[in-house]
Amino acid sequence: MRRRTVTGPRGTGRAVRGAAMGLVCAALLAGCASAPDTRDEPSTPKSSASAPATVAPEMTGRTPEGTLLVADFGADTVTFVDPDKGPVDSVKVGEAPYGLVVGEDGRAWVATAEGVAVVDTHHRERLDLIPYRTKNLGPVTDGEYRGGGMGIALAPDGRHVHVGVNVPSGNGSLETIDTRTREVTDTAPVGRRPFDVDVSRDGREVYATDHDSFDVTIVDTRTRKTRRIEVAPYGTEGGLGSWLKPHYAAVRPSDGTLLLPFEGERLVVLDPKTGRSAIERMTADTHQHGVTITPGGTLLAVGTGPIDPSRDEGPSLTVRTPDGEEKVIPLEGPHEDVAVSADERTAYVTGGFTRDGYWNGITVVDLDSGDTRRLAAGERPLGIAVL
C-alpha cells in the first residue's frame, strides 16, 4: 500500500505512504484490509447533490443520433438519455450491467451479471441474452465483486465481441462471442477482475486490464495464446488491499500502445509487442478510473476522488493532448466512466462509480470552456456510449 515519492503537480516531493496510509485506510474504509476481497477504492458517501429531477417525455420512434446509452449498475436496465433533457427510455438487460459497447449496426453489447445482452438501440429492445461459458460465477447479484461480465470491447470488423468475466473466487476469463450467431466461441484465462477490455487496431490482440492481479493479459485472437504483463508503477505491496492497481486502459491510435493512468500522477505507456513500459507524469493528483481516447489521440481520464483527503485532490476529468499537456476539470462527487461526443467538444462522465459512493446521473463537460452541468441518467450509471 506504499506510494513511492514522486514529484507532485506543483513541483514538490510527494510523501511516501506506508504505515500511516494504513491508518488512513482504516479510518476511511472501516477495515478495508480485513475482508477477503479487500476493496481498493476510497469510500465516498453518496452525493447529496443529486442530478436534476426533470425527466424528458418517453421517446417514440427511432432513437436519434447523439443519444446517450448508460448501463444501470444499480438495476437491471440500460437507460437512453437525451443529452439535453435526461432519461427518455430504458430496456431490461440483466442484473447489474457494467460495461457496454455499440457497433456501427446500432446493436449494443452489454456485460451483465447474467450474460451479455444484445440490444437494438434503434428501436430500444433487447434481442438476446447470451449466457457465459465460464463456471463458478456464484449467484446472480449486484455490487463491485459480483460474478459475470465487466469490461467489453468490439473487434474493429464488428464480427466478434470480447468480454472480461469476473470469477469471484479467483482469476477471470475472456469470452469471445460471434456477433452473427450470438454464441460464445472461445474462452481464454485472464487475471483477477478484468475491469476493462480493449482490442488492437488490427483486431489480432485483445487486452484485459486485470485489476486485482496488477497486470494486463494479452490474448492472441488467432491462436488464443495469452501473455500477462505486470503493470504496477507503485509495486504490488498490499495485494488485494492495495488501491494502486490498474483500472482502465486505452489504445493509442498513433502506435497501438496501451495507456493506463494511475492516481493522477503517473501514466503507464505499455508496448504490448515488447512488454516494456514507460511512465509519464500526470497532474490531477486523484484516484483515477475510466478512460477513453479520441481518434486524434486526446486521452480523457476520470478522477474519482482522493485516497487521502489530506494530500490528494478531489474528483476531476483530465484532458491530456497527444503531446502530454493536461487540462484538469474539477467535478462534483464520484464518477466512473467517460464517453465523448462525435465532434469531440463534449464529454459525458457517469456518476455510478464501482465503490459505495455514487449518484444517479452524468456530468456533461464542455471540453473547450471546462463548464459542467449535471444530468439525470438511470440508476448508478456506469458504462456509457454515444449513439
Q: pLDDT at position 240, please?
A: 87
Residue 2 pLDDT greater than 60, yes or no? no
Residue 22 pLDDT greater than 80, yes or no? no
Cell numbers standing for residue 161? 465481441
3-state helix, strand, coil in the chain (%, to 5): 5, 40, 55
Q: Find out whether 52 and 360 touch, Cβ atoms under 8 Å.
A: no
**From the CB of residue 62, how many other CB atoms can be counted at a distance below 10 Å?**
11
355 — pLDDT class (breaks 50, 70, 90): confident
Q: What is the DSSP letter of 179?
A: T
Q: What is the pLDDT of residues 71-111, one digit of tens each?
A: 999 999 999 999 999 999 999 999 999 999 999 999 999 99
Q: Find out whether 131 and 149 touch, Cβ atoms under 8 Å.
A: no
Q: pLDDT at position 48, please?
A: 37
**From the CB of residue 95, how many other CB atoms can be counted at a distance below 10 Å?**
18
Average pLDDT score over residue span 284-300: 98
Residue 16 pLDDT greater than 50, yes or no? no
Residue 28 pLDDT greater than 70, yes or no? no
In this prediction the pTM is 0.88
Closest CA to 205 of 167, 148, 257: 257
24, 72, 176 from 86: Cα distances, Å: 38, 14, 33
What's the mean pLDDT when you consider all of the chain? Answer: 88
Residue 5 pLDDT greater than 70, yes or no? no
CA dihedral 21, 25, 27, 28 (to 10 degrees): 130
